[in-house]
Amino acid sequence: MTKKTAFRIFLVGTLSSGALFLGLTVDTHRQVAALSHADRLSDRVVAGKRAFEKYNCNDCHTILGFGGYYAPDLTRVVQRVGDDGVRYRVKSPELAFAKSVRKMPQQQVSPEEIEDLVAFFNWVGQIDNGDWPPQDSRKKLTRGEQRLSLGAAVSPGAAVFQAKGCMNCHSLHGVGGTFGPALDTIGRRMTVEQIEHYIHDPKSVNPNAKMPPQTELSERERDEVANFLGNLK
């Protein structure tokens, strides 16, 4: 191959790659408003972003791929724990994370700022960002028939329990979150029907419940999880 031919290959490759990169960049910028739902960017959402920055939340948490890795990612935090779960964690971190090795400091966030943060996290959670982050992916193990081994129990309900993020708050056999109660023996305290009802509408059973209604679960998935948990005795 001559130097002239090599230069032409280099030139064509460089120009093609540059044109593709610029085209994709322009296309992305063209879609930003729609993907981010800019029409929902209210004053309260903006105030929540300012509160997020004021308390340096990014020092410990990631959001939209940016920030620290000491604490959980907050991109889809509302989908995981609900509005009330966010309020409780920000208002009383010393109680919410009492059993956790990693402690969140009491920031003395005002009630108004807490509501601003809830609005901000709701807006961020609705951004179409390619189903990020992976741990909160809507596609990750979404089918109950995908099987998971939790100790000696193997069932569709166990797969749904893990796939839908239940272990972000609850633990089984010492594995999982500490925000909610451990569920190793929940079948001793509640029937399958009671568990299914609680999953569907926690506050109808306990007005002080911090768990959000699991509206993303289908009726079949609720039944599978309730049967799985009801047998844990």
pLDDT value at 144 more than 70: no
Q: Are residues 64 and 124 in contact, defined by beta-carbon separation less than 8 angstroms? A: yes
**Paired strand residues for 149:** 154
| Region 85-113 average pLDDT | 89
Q: Which domains does the chain have, with CATH numbers?
A: 38-132 (1.10.760.10), 148-230 (1.10.760.10)
Mean of per-residue pLDDT scores for the chain = 86
pLDDT value at 61 more than 90: yes
**CA-CA distance, 28 to 83, in Å (whole number)?**
30
Query: Taking phi first (over 0 means left), then psi (-120 to 50 degrees means alpha), and beta for anything else, what does residue 116 get?
Result: alpha
Return the pLDDT at 183.
Answer: 93
Written as one string, the DSSP assignment of 102-119 is SPPP-----HHHHHHHHH
When pLDDT is cut at 50, 70 and 90, the band that residue 139 belongs to is: low
Return the pLDDT at 110.
Answer: 97
| Region 16-31 average pLDDT | 91
| Region 64-84 average pLDDT | 89
**CA-CA distance, 122 to 45, in Å (whole number)?**
9
Scanning the structure block, which residue is given the tokens 């340096």? Answer: 56
Tokens representing residue 111 in the block? 């009630």
When pLDDT is cut at 50, 70 and 90, the band that residue 176 belongs to is: confident
When pLDDT is cut at 50, 70 and 90, the band that residue 145 belongs to is: very low
pLDDT value at 20 more than 50: yes
**CA-CA distance, 157 to 58, in Å (whole number)?**
35
Using DSSP's 3-state secondary structure scheme, residue 136 falls into helix
Answer with the residue of higher pLDDT: 138 or 140. 138
Q: Is the peptide bond before 156 cis (omega within 30 degrees of 0)?
A: no
pLDDT value at 12 more than 70: yes
Return the pLDDT at 149.
Answer: 45
pLDDT value at 146 more than 60: no
